[in-house]
Amino acid sequence: MRLCAYPFPASVAKFIADHDKVFIVEQNRDAQMHTLLVESFAINPAKLEKVLHYDGTPITARFIIKDIKKHLPPAVTNPAQQKEAA
């Protein structure tokens, strides 16, 4: 979900409630969007994972994927390994 305005519409709270974990991708050090979400909807902060990029360079998809993977359990990504596991 892409957030474009504050105050947030009710659909944002529903989206967060419908998912076990939500990654908040931000291009600042202070995680302002994370804070606004927690305060606006009284959300458990542990449900929202911060993906912060604040070194002054443009954020890349590679950075986002790498950071999100740090928060996920190891997964089988090789299709041959998936067949063996089945």
Has residue 77 got a pLDDT over 60?
no
pLDDT reading at 85 higher than 80: no
> How many whole angstroms separate alpha carbon 79 and alpha carbon 84?
9
pLDDT tens sequence across 15-62: 999 999 999 999 999 999 999 999 999 999 999 999 999 999 999 999
Q: Report pTM.
A: 0.78
CA dihedral (8, 9, 10, 15) in degrees, to 10, reads: -70
Residues composing the chain = 86
